[in-house]
Structure 1
Amino acid sequence: MPDRETRTFVVVGDQLRVDPTSTAEIISEGGWILPGLVDVHTHAGTETPDDKFDDDVMVQHLTQHRDAGVLVVRMPGSAARIPRWVDTEPDLPRVYSAGRWLATPERFFPGYGRDVSEADLPQAAVEEALASSGWCKVIGDWMPDRPAVPLDVLKNVVLEVHAVGGRVAVHCQTAEGCYNAVSAGADSLEHGMHLDHALLEQMAVQKTALVPTLTTFSRIPDRYRDQEPSPRSTWLVSGWKGMLSTVRAAHDAGVTVLAGTDIVPFGRIVDEVGWLIRAGLPTETAIGAASWTARSWLGLRSLADGAPADLVIYDEDPTVNPRILTQPARIILKGRIVG
């Protein structure tokens, strides 16, 4: 997948080679081969805003991803910078990190990320991008009663991070926050609740991706079902009600929509694929959002000679039965069989 061609791949070290005549040991004969799955929005290492980042917990979470066939994760923000040794661990997914969350006053859980002033935000963003995998994550807004990070500040963040070769992810869940992030030229909008559809054409042109994390936001109605309505709950519920139509409109406008699960439980990217399908994305597009499309967006090659040997093999065509994504027959990570 996605080319739907019959191919024979040979794993040489940590790379794929196309060699139909090879006499190497057969590890899988037949099946549907996908590039390793991708979760582009996950936060391994903590489970609640009260948690301190823990290396052992991070390994546990990353292992849960791997066992589900998720062989690449992007962690757009964390309570701590991801340790460098993760990059050399053969049994853990490839990790694209964004350093610590960057939060200006009253725009995030206190002390959970790196608290900075608006004046210091551009420099802090550069520091986190250089200390990570080239990404930084800005909390662009928070609650509806708080103004979003000003547009001129976000523009400076994007300008300075791009100048050092980095990319900027922006947390957005208010209309103002989404507007400012798109207008500033952010590389990705995380969540995009209350996103004005009038911004979608600009997102497509400037290649700003949308990562809606529907799996997490889908819990909103249950969370507030038995509670007395409040301004906050009304805002959240109304935001959720518009998210599926936003995802479909984004896809129709040519925006790159990607799959990310956000928080616990880990290793459930198949749920996000299911939500993208419910939102109206073609099944193959939804699967690509958690596989080949996401890998390309991160700069990774997929199923080609010389590409990284990250494969997930299934006994059925996932585009016909997407739930088969929960049952990988073989998982090959960095050239090694791990499942």
Structure 2
Amino acid sequence: MALRIRGIALPGREEVVLQIEGDRLRTAAGDDGEHVIDGGWLVPGLVDVHSHPGTDKPGDEFDLALFREHMLQHRAAGVLAVRSPGSADPLSHRRHDEPDLPRLVTGGRWLATPGRFFEGFGRDVEEDDLAAAAVEEARASSGWCKIIGDWLPGTPPVPLDALTAAVRAVHAIGGRVAVHCQTAEGAEHAVLSGADSLEHGMHLDHALLPLMAERGTALVPTFTTFAKTVEQLGRGEPEHIRDWLRSGWDGMAATALAAHEAGVTVLAGTDSKPCGDIVGEVEWLIRAGLPPEVALGAASWTARSWLGLPGLTDGGWADVVAYDEDPTVRPAVLHSPSRIVLRGRVVL
């Protein structure tokens, strides 16, 4: 007997009847069959576009058992696709399709030029070798690479010409580039280089937002991790670092809202442990002033489209999360999915 899904699909808000064929969805001709979801609100599987499963803290070696634990934490929250922009796993490009885990979009190893990352945690490269290394990581991954574009205040960012050369080289092979940036100059270089996404974007000059919108550059603010960082600030950090982090945090909500209003794609990524807190990131986006539907889309249909992943369409993946209430009207229901289907299998 065919397995079917019936409900009101977001974002279109039309009632649909879909049939599960293997790990794919097909438009059903009728409403016969066994319904694994019968009513409610249907959302394309949630997405965390900035997560690093497999390590708990910077400097840790990649742990495959921990990777699976982290991915199952994501799955339990309805996160059915994860983009890992930077990994300590030298074999991350091989971990694309474990049948019980969310789908993984890899970004290779972090690319760190001298003095701009946790020592030995990423792939250390010289500035002159950055473009070639970026192409290598993009080819070895899901088409993405991740460049550490800046680091702490007082440390110059990757020079604009070196970063631009790397972005152009990756684009030339059809790849995409995520850039870590949390200083004003680092964020400026990321935008001007033509990067595909700014990861964090603290201290981003709002005057650059129209250019980001024009080029399709996304912003992934990662409120979740910075909220924890600022909350845990103590006397162990130099005062100028504490002030820099607090001022960056104080401006993040205004930046996310201004980016949305300027037409920039704002996406949801947690960059935090434990994994599976994407709903908290959606709530941060709502608190920043983004409409609930936009905030949810940042962790679902918008993120999936941006990554080239299908939504609730004929021939799309059978990755669906159902809720008893409209999550754009009552976002709190996102904490309580009524059903989760991954790769055509009911996992909740």
- 2:113 maps to 1:90: no
Structure 1 residues not aligned, in runs of 5+ = none
Contact 2:93 2:140 in 1 (8 A): no
Contact 1:82 1:97 in 2 (8 A): no
* Change in CA separation of 1:82 and 1:266 when aligned onto 2, cut-off 3 Å: farther
Partner secondary structure for residue 218 of structure 1: helix
Residue by residue over 1:176-221, the C-alpha shift from the partner in whole angstroms, topping out at 9 and shown as x without a partner, is 0000010000000000000000000000000000000001111233
Deviation of 1:233 (Å): 0.6
- 2:240 maps to 1:231: yes
Partner secondary structure for residue 32 of structure 1: strand
* Change in CA separation of 1:85 and 1:157 when aligned onto 2, cut-off 3 Å: closer
Task: Return the letter of the residue paired with 1:142.
Answer: W
* Alignment correspondent of 1:178: 187
Partner secondary structure for residue 29 of structure 1: strand
* Alignment correspondent of 1:309: 318
Structure 2 residues not aligned, in runs of 5+ = 1-9
Deviation of 1:224 (Å): 2.3
Partner secondary structure for residue 70 of structure 2: helix
d(CA) in 1 for partners of 2:35 and 2:126?
Answer: 57
Give the % identical residues. Answer: 61
* Alignment correspondent of 1:209: 218
Contact 2:95 2:104 in 1 (8 A): yes
d(CA) in 2 for partners of 1:36 and 1:309?
Answer: 9
Partner secondary structure for residue 7 of structure 1: strand
Contact 1:7 1:20 in 2 (8 A): no
* Change in CA separation of 1:209 and 1:82 when aligned onto 2, cut-off 3 Å: farther
Task: Return the letter of the residue paired with 2:28.
Answer: D
* Alignment correspondent of 1:81: 90
* Alignment correspondent of 1:35: 44
* Change in CA separation of 1:228 and 1:23 when aligned onto 2, cut-off 3 Å: closer
Q: Which deviates more, 326-335 or 173-182? A: 326-335
* Alignment correspondent of 1:157: 166
Task: Return the letter of the residue paired with 1:70.
Answer: V
Deviation of 1:83 (Å): 4.0
Task: Return the letter of the residue paired with 1:17.
Answer: R
* Alignment correspondent of 1:330: 339
Deviation of 1:24 (Å): 2.2
* Alignment correspondent of 1:321: 330
* Change in CA separation of 1:15 and 1:136 when aligned onto 2, cut-off 3 Å: same
Structure with higher strand content:
2
- 2:231 maps to 1:222: yes
Aligned residues: 339
Contact 1:68 1:268 in 2 (8 A): yes
Matching of residues 243-258 of structure 1 within 5 Å: 243-258=252-267
Contact 1:136 1:168 in 2 (8 A): yes
Q: Which deviates more, 48-57 or 74-83? A: 74-83
d(CA) in 2 for partners of 1:203 and 1:84?
Answer: 28
Residue by residue over 1:2-22, the C-alpha shift from the partner in whole angstroms, topping out at 9 and shown as x without a partner, is 111111111111111111514
Deviation of 1:84 (Å): 5.0
* Alignment correspondent of 1:66: 75
Partner secondary structure for residue 57 of structure 1: helix
Q: Which deviates more, 126-135 or 20-29? A: 20-29
Matching of residues 250-329 of structure 1 within 5 Å: 250-329=259-338
- 2:115 maps to 1:115: no
Residue by residue over 1:73-98, the C-alpha shift from the partner in whole angstroms, topping out at 9 and shown as x without a partner, is 00000112344553231111110000
d(CA) in 1 for partners of 2:287 and 2:235?
Answer: 25
Residue by residue over 1:150-190, the C-alpha shift from the partner in whole angstroms, topping out at 9 and shown as x without a partner, is 00001100110011111000000000000001000000000
d(CA) in 2 for partners of 1:319 and 1:232?
Answer: 37
Deviation of 1:28 (Å): 1.5
What is the aligned counterpart of 1:144 among 153, 156, 161? 153
Partner secondary structure for residue 312 of structure 1: strand
- 2:251 maps to 1:242: yes
* Change in CA separation of 1:319 and 1:175 when aligned onto 2, cut-off 3 Å: same
What is the aligned counterpart of 1:105 among 95, 114, 134? 114
Residue by residue over 1:92-141, the C-alpha shift from the partner in whole angstroms, topping out at 9 and shown as x without a partner, is 11100000000000100000100110011110110100001000000000
What is the TM-score of this pair, normalised by structure 1? 0.97
CA RMSD after TM alignment: 1.3
d(CA) in 1 for partners of 2:111 and 2:237?
Answer: 33
What is the TM-score of this pair, normalised by structure 2? 0.95
Task: Return the letter of the residue paired with 1:115.
Answer: D
